[in-house]
């Protein structure tokens, strides 16, 4: 597929420059990889960790909530020879300048901050690609890993997982676009992945129907995700018996074509009834990415579920588990993961219930809508809640969502938008950066998903600045 928008040649030469530096690291030289806690960050950090170990280096991997001054202070105290930042760094170059005895290397896909710093950096934006659609941090790390050794191509599946974690399956019917589609083709050619057409329900090709509805987190199906009884009832309600005649659960292979159509229509109707647009609801039908080397009954077989699984680990603070799954740990890690996934679905359902029942949880302004999470919502979960809130009737897809939670220091802000708002001119990363900096904080990210850190008590001011910025940039015309 021809690549448009950017220069793949430029991206590859930047990846080669980073790869050559990483290959020059000797076993006795200290190298610390610092990555973000979400699925893309965990996958990106793990890809470079594996590639470095395979090349004979002895890296350490540290997962953080975000790149802030404290993290730079900690790195400065440890004095590693190299600090490799994955899924972060491009937007925080002013902080990297404080590293004196450590050489920073950045492998990122966030909107880069301009800087005169002499920095080894690979980022799709620098080569003309869009880091929110065309390539994830894990994909960028994969390009570097492949330049380090062709045999690292087995890590392509982690690159796919990272891209799905960042919701980059934005092509027609859940396909990949840009550099992601090249990586997906490589994984398919190597027999590591199969792309099927189906319902984007987790484990759709292998699990009982009731179970894949219950387990699906992205999109979160309010009232169904995490509730087997409700999924059973919905199927019964549309005339599908969830059980076979022999008493076992029905899988997709047990359905006739007509029954499958009924299930698809039933799911779309349900999602619309929950407030999703018909475009979003119809996107439930599309590409399903099956990882051939994972066992069918595990949450890692379906690449979207793999992404949600490690995202759950990160968001619940189980960084070690997330990384060890990316590095290939199964067995006990899988049993632990099943519990984490249950906790994660429960936490999300609890937050959604709180949103519906608390009169002070939501604030609506002319151009933005806000979730005031205070100390109710964990700062690591506020981003997830903001993403999922669009699946709930309470929130309109016409305005971005800006969510706040009390952080260990100050307030954590998470913003989420829709592809339509971005087409109409919204750049949430720029809004977060400008509004937070006006209040003495910091922020940035992507046009569609971004975040910030602001001082305590500044939520209302932040909202009114963001409201004005959104009104200035977003055109009223739907495209």
The contact set with ligand C5P (CB under 6 A) reads: 36, 38, 40-41, 66, 87, 91, 110, 137, 165-167, 383, 387, 414, 416, 442-446, 448-453
How many of the other CB atoms lie within 10 Å of CB of 447?
22
Any idea what DSSP says for residue 151?
G
* 412-to-304, 372, 438, 442 alpha-carbon distances in Å: 26, 11, 15, 10
Determine the longest span between alpha carbons in the chain, in angstroms. Answer: 69
Q: Which is nearer to ligand C5P, 400 or 443 (CB)?
A: 443
Q: Name the closest residue to ligand C5P (Cβ).
A: 451
Q: Which is nearer to ligand C5P, 25 or 432 (CB)?
A: 432
CA 304/CA 285 separation, integer angstroms: 14
Residue 303 Cβ, how far from ligand C5P at the closest point, in Å?
Answer: 14
Q: Which is nearer to ligand C5P, 400 or 451 (CB)?
A: 451
Residue 336 Cβ, how far from ligand C5P at the closest point, in Å?
Answer: 22
State how far Cα 406 lies from the chain centre: 22
Q: Which is nearer to ligand C5P, 232 or 404 (CB)?
A: 404
Residue 435 Cβ, how far from ligand C5P at the closest point, in Å?
Answer: 12
CA 13/CA 9 separation, integer angstroms: 6
Residue 422 Cβ, how far from ligand C5P at the closest point, in Å?
Answer: 9
Q: Which is nearer to ligand C5P, 38 or 205 (CB)?
A: 38
Q: Which is nearer to ligand C5P, 226 or 443 (CB)?
A: 443
Residue 264 Cβ, how far from ligand C5P at the closest point, in Å?
Answer: 23
Q: Which is nearer to ligand C5P, 145 or 389 (CB)?
A: 389
Residue 223 Cβ, how far from ligand C5P at the closest point, in Å?
Answer: 20
Residue 248 Cβ, how far from ligand C5P at the closest point, in Å?
Answer: 35
How many of the other CB atoms lie within 10 Å of CB of 279?
11
How many of the other CB atoms lie within 10 Å of CB of 170?
19
Q: Which is nearer to ligand C5P, 37 or 268 (CB)?
A: 37
State how far Cα 434 lies from the chain centre: 23
Cis amide linkage into residue 174, ω under 30° from 0? no
Residue 306 Cβ, how far from ligand C5P at the closest point, in Å?
Answer: 14
Q: Which is nearer to ligand C5P, 38 or 214 (CB)?
A: 38
Residue 75 Cβ, how far from ligand C5P at the closest point, in Å?
Answer: 17
First to last CA, the chain: 26
Please classify residue 408 by burial: count the beta carbons closer than 10 Å to its beta carbon, then call 0-12 exposed, 13-18 middle and 19+ buried: exposed
CA 405/CA 90 separation, integer angstroms: 24
Question: Contact 243/370 with Cβ under 8 angstroms?
Answer: no
Residue 20 Cβ, how far from ligand C5P at the closest point, in Å?
Answer: 26
CA 395/CA 352 separation, integer angstroms: 11
β-pairing verdict for 442-445 and 449-454: antiparallel
Q: Which is nearer to ligand C5P, 57 or 310 (CB)?
A: 310
Q: Which is nearer to ligand C5P, 31 or 452 (CB)?
A: 452
Question: Contact 142/159 with Cβ under 8 angstroms?
Answer: yes
Residue 352 Cβ, how far from ligand C5P at the closest point, in Å?
Answer: 15
CA 105/CA 102 separation, integer angstroms: 10
Q: Which runs of consecutive H residues, i.e. helices, occur in 134-227?
A: 137-148, 156-165, 178-189, 209-215
Instruction: Tokens for 258, please give them.
Output: 């007509």
Q: Which runs of consecutive H residues, i.e. helices, occur in 285-392?
A: 303-315, 319-326, 332-357, 382-389
Measured over the CA atoms of residue 260, residue 266, residue 272 and residue 278, the dihedral's sign is: positive
């Amino acid at each position: 597929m021809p690549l448009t928008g950017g220069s793949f040649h430029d991206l590859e030469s930047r990846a080669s420059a980073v790869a050559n530096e990483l290959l020059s690291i000797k076993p006795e030289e200290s190298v610390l990889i610092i990555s973000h806690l979400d699925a893309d960050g965990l996958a990106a950090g793990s890809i470079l960790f594996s590639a470095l170990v395979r090349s004979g280096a002895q890296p350490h991997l540290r997962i953080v909530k975000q790149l802030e001054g404290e993290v730079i202070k900690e790195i400065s105290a440890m004095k590693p020879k190299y600090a490799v930042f994955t899924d972060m760094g491009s937007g925080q170059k002013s902080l990297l300048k404080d590293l004196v005895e450590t050489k920073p290397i950045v492998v990122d896909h966030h909107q880069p901050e301009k800087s005169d710093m002499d920095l080894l950096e690979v980022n799709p934006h620098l080569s003309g690609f869009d880091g929110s659609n065309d390539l994830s941090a894990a994909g960028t790390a994969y390009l570097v890993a492949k330049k380090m050794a062709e045999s690292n191509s087995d890590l392509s599946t982690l690159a796919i997982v990272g891209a799905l974690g960042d919701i980059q399956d934005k092509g027609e019917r859940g396909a990949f676009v840009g550099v992601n589609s090249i990586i997906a083709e490589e994984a398919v050619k190597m027999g590591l992945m199969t792309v099927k057409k189906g319902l984007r329900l987790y484990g759709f090709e292998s699990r009982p129907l009731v179970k894949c509805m219950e387990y699906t987190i992205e999109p979160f199906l309010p009232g169904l995700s995490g509730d087997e009884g409700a999924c059973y009832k919905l199927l019964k309600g549309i005339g599908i018996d969830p059980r076979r005649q022999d008493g076992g659960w029905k899988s997709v292979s047990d359905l006739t074509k007509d029954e499958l159509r009924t299930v698809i229509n039933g799911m779309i109707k349900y999602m619309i009834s929950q407030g999703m647009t018909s475009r979003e609801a119809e996107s439930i039908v599309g590409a399903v990415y099956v990882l051939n080397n994972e066992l069918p009954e595990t949450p890692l077989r379906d690449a979207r579920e793999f992404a949600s699984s490690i995202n759950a680990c990160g968001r619940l603070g189980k960084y070690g588990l997330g990384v060890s799954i990316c590095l290939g740990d199964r067995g006990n890690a899988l049993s632990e993961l099943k519990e984490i996934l249950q906790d994660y679905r429960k936490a999300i359902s609890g937050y959604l219930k709180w949103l519906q029942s608390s009169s002070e949880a939501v604030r609506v302004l002319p151009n933005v809508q806000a979730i005031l999470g205070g100390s109710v919502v964990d700062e690591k979960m506020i981003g997830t809640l903001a993403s999922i809130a669009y699946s709930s009737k309470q929130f309109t897809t016409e305005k971005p969502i800006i969510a706040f939670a009390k952080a260990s220091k100050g307030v954590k802000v998470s913003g989420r938008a829709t592809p339509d708002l971005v087409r109409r001119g919204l750049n949430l990363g720029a809004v977060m950066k400008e509004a937070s900096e006006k209040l003495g904080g910091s922020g940035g990210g992507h046009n569609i998903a971004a975040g910030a850190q602001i001082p305590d008590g500044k939520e209302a001011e932040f909202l009114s600045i963001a409201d004005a910025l959104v009104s200035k940039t977003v055109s009223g015309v739907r495209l």
